[in-house]
Structure 1
Amino acid sequence: MSDARDPGDPGDPLSPAARRLCDVMAAGFPGPGDPAALRAAAVPGPPGPALASVRDAVAAGVPVRIYDPAPGAAGRPLVVYLHGGGWVMCGLDTHDATCRKLAAASGAVLVSVGYRLAPEHPWPAARDDALGVLLWARAGAEALGCDPGRVVVAGDSSGGNLAAVTALRAPGQVAGQLLVYPPLDAAMDSASVTAYGRGYFHTAAHMAWYWEQYGGDPEHPHVSPLRAPAEGLSGLPRTLIVLADCDLLRDEGLAYARRLARAGVDCEVRLYPGVFHGFLGLPLPAGRAALAGAAAWLAATP
């Protein structure tokens, strides 16, 4: 039975445009259980803007794509970007347009990370790839026209989890973390899981399966950053957490923001109403606003 609603349903918390897009995306998306089918469905969207330089490379043994909107400039922020996809799917190509938009709008050099995927490469493979690229980027920041003191780690969905974990593992090495609707607790026991676990594209069944494929101890803070000890949070850098109101992961992001604030971290939350998980960069007003706001935040990296 379909969970789709009428886009004009006054009881639907999604905007009419978001409901239409959500239902179209959900209709063509496989259920959990088959990595190959999910990967085949995760195709790139419309292309992003042209940039002065986009090149593929290998960093710390990991495939990366480097976006530079202004070669020859110096002292810019350097963003290490970790794509979403439940640690199972997606890669450099699926997130190419988002990375181009962020680089173009922020003026930062952006390094997109093609980390190893589960279930072939379970935890800690992706975690270790993320840290390896971060350390590579920081060491080579000046050669990329960037300030090594302005390195930011960023990611969406499972990539947001990896970004949060990388910041925990590299105290003093990053100037900021941008976390876009990240999964932060493998327990999946928040109220938003119950409220938005079906009918909003990203389902609780999918998320539970992604956690199973990824593996690791669900109590470990490098799996579930929300469970990190308080003393490990106090040294984290300025943080922006971008959330969708109609997302099963919403409450995990809010809970992490509260923990960071209690630890004295400069943490900002931007919660967008009427949209669902994955909205960043989608052809919705909130998606465009979130991407522009994230780019401005990156550009302001001190």
Structure 2
Amino acid sequence: MAFFYLLPMILLAIFVASFISAIIRTIQTEYANCSIPPGVSNPGKLRLIVAVLIVTSTLGRIFEKMELCSSLAFKRRVFSGWRPGPARGVRREDARLGRVPARLYRPRAAVRAPRPAVLLFHGGGWICCSLDSHERICQYIAKESGSLVVSVGYRLAPEHKYPAAYEDCLNATQHFLQHLEHYGVDPARVIVCGDSAGGNLAAAVSQTLAGRSDFPKLRAQILIYPGLQALDFNLPSYQQNRGVPLLFRERAAFCALQYIQGNTSNLEEVLEGSHIPPDLRLKYRKWVSPDNIPEKFKVRGYKPHKPCEFKPEVYETVKRFCEPNLCPLLAEDTIIQQLPESFILTCEYDVLRDDGLLYKKRLEDNGVRVTWYHLEDGFHGIVNLFEYCGLSFPSGKRGLDKAVAFIKSL
């Protein structure tokens, strides 16, 4: 009789053991596809983060099969992280910029003149992260730079495909620029800023507003490891860092496809380059080419890649990749020449490194002043780990401090 009382506990123990074993096997399998170069910052801590991400992904898939929630919803919740309380010396306020949700961070320190303002667009591949995920960064920038920081909560893919995120960021920026007096902001010191996909959005918004006379001119743009093109996923940085966390080569293409079409049905074709017609590839080669990457960034290995045979049916589904609002590297020189002073941060161990390097060259070639900071031991997402559950990296804080110093210099 006692056995029947113990049976539920035995079954539960078997389930838990199987569950843990499955997670361990998944971690081992995923680690086989992961590469952590010896030069990366704090490799031991990065391995721990990778393990957490793998567990998160595994749990998401399990919860989806159990119909508790979608895998993406679970990841979004985890990646948003814990929302810290207001930082000392910073006042936080939820708001709306037109129809777009936002969060304002005001330094409490008194100032004599109107403050500068930083409009921040969070990263997350257009599909993850939120106002909460970038809370710590916004608080830090506001406190250390004395700026009003405005974090923009744009709509996410795949529920809201391109150009939803871009339109939200543009509309929020325009609304803010029309009401600067209400926010006590200096019209001559408004900056757009973003990391990863947020850097893409900041660059696109800056290009759209370039030369506009009906809005105050943006003072600067801050692009932190931005993704700026989807034509070539075989640039040197993509080859060298294809398996380096926190952004794998396949994941970069995955996010771009989720943003543009809401699914990843053409992932392999996009990775191999068969999604762009030869004539367009030739047209844009002057801007998107490994030939424009300094040789010192190829020493870790680079093999010229010949795109696979062009597939017109794939191009028809992803042809908006050729729009500058989605891929700012493809904007014409007449637009680039009107862009404001720029700060670009790149990381050596990041598939998006070369996007930043190519844009830096384009800006400089067109007479735009660029402050460039390269984290030799950095990886994608390192700045976003600032003060996150003890997982900060000194290199990431150094990059964030350089961005703050840039703001204060304007």
Return the TM-score normalized by structure 2: 0.68
Query: Paired residue for 1:196?
Result: 241
Query: Unaligned regions of 5+ residues in structure 2, if any?
Result: 1-28, 62-70, 212-216, 261-317, 387-391
Alignment of 1:230-245 (within 5 A): 230-245=333-348
Can you list the C-alpha shifts for 1:11-43, whole angstroms capped at 9, x where unaligned? 61213x1x1222222222228994224313313
**Cα gap change, 1:107 to 1:37, in 2 (>3 Å):** same
| Alignment correspondent of 1:64 | 102
Aligned twin of 1:292: 401
- Residue from 355, 361, 368 that aligns with 1:258: 361
List runs of 5+ in structure 1 lacking aligned partners.
Answer: none
SS at match of 1:218: helix
1:182 aligns with 2:233: no
Residue type at the aligned position of 2:408: A
Aligned with 1:77 (options 97, 105, 116): 116
One-letter amino acid of the counterpart of residue 230, structure 2: A
Secondary structure in structure 2 of the residue aligned to 1:50: coil
Q: Distance in 1 between matches of 2:249 and 2:173?
A: 31
Q: Which has the higher helix share?
A: 2
**Rounded Cα–Cα distance in structure 2 between residues aligned with 1:67 and 1:77:** 12
The reply on whether 1:168 has 2:207 as its aligned counterpart is yes
- Residues in 1 aligned to 2:239 and 2:229: alpha-carbon distance in whole angstroms: 15
Distance in structure 2 (CA, Å) of the matches to 1:4 and 1:223: 29
Secondary structure, counterpart of 1:28 in structure 2: helix
Asked whether 1:51 is paired with 2:89, we answer: yes
The 5 Å alignment of 1:58-207 reads: 58-70=96-108, 73=111, 74-172=113-211, 173-187=217-231, 188-207=233-252
Moved over 6 A (4+): 4-7
Shift of 1:141: 1.7
Residues 82, 156 of structure 1: 8 Å contact kept: yes
Q: Which structure is richer in relative contact order (CA contacts within 8 A, separation 6 or more)?
A: 1
| 1:6 shift after superposition | 10
Residues 1:59 and 1:269: Cα distance change in structure 2 (over 3 Å): same
Shift in Å, 1:207: 0.9
One of 223, 236, 255 as aligned partner of 1:210: 255
Judge conservation of contact 1:160–1:180 (CA < 8 Å) in 2: yes
- Partners of 1:89 and 1:287 lie apart in 2 by 20
Partner Cα separation in structure 2 for residue 195 and residue 210 of structure 1: 20
Across the aligned residues of Structure 1 and Structure 2, the Cα RMSD in angstroms comes to: 2.2
Match of residue 39, structure 1, among 76, 79, 84 = 76
Once the two structures are superposed, what CA deviation does each residue of 1:208-249 show, in whole Å capped at 9, x if it has no partner?
110011106111111111111111100000000011110000
Deviation readout 1:29-71 (Å, 9 max, x if unpaired): 2289942243133132683733342100111200000000037
Structure having the higher Rg: 2
Distance 2:34 2:123 in 1: 26
1:21 aligns to 2:45 (yes or no): yes
- Superposed displacement of residue 72, structure 1: 6.1
The amino acid that maps onto 1:63 is: P
Conserved? CA contact 1:66–1:109, under 8 Å: yes
| Partner Cα separation in structure 2 for residue 186 and residue 143 of structure 1 | 39
Question: Mean Cα displacement is larger for which, 273-282 or 111-120?
Answer: 273-282
Measure the CA separation in 1 of the matches of 2:221 and 2:381.
18
Work out the CA distance in 2 between the residues paired with 1:92 and 1:50.
19
SS in 1 for 2:371: strand
Contact 1:102 1:295 in 2 (8 A): yes
Paired AA for residue 245 in structure 2 = Y
Q: 1:226 aligns with which of 304, 321, 329?
A: 329
| Residue type of the alignment partner of 1:297 | F
Taking a change above 3 Å as real, the CA distance of residues 237 and 39 of structure 1, as seen in their structure-2 partners, is same
Please tell me the residue identity of whatever aligns with 1:225.
Answer: P
Report the CA distance between 1:284 and its aligned residue. Answer: 1.6
TM-superposed CA distance for 1:179, in Å, is: 0.2
Separation (CA, whole Å) in 2 of partners of 1:22 and 1:52: 30
Which has the higher mean CA deviation after the structures are superposed, 167-176 or 98-107?
A: 167-176
- Mapping 1:3-14, distance limit 5 Å: 3=32, 12-14=38-40
Deviations 1:181-202 (A, max 9, x none): 0000112231101111103221
CA contact (8 A) 2:238 2:352 kept: yes
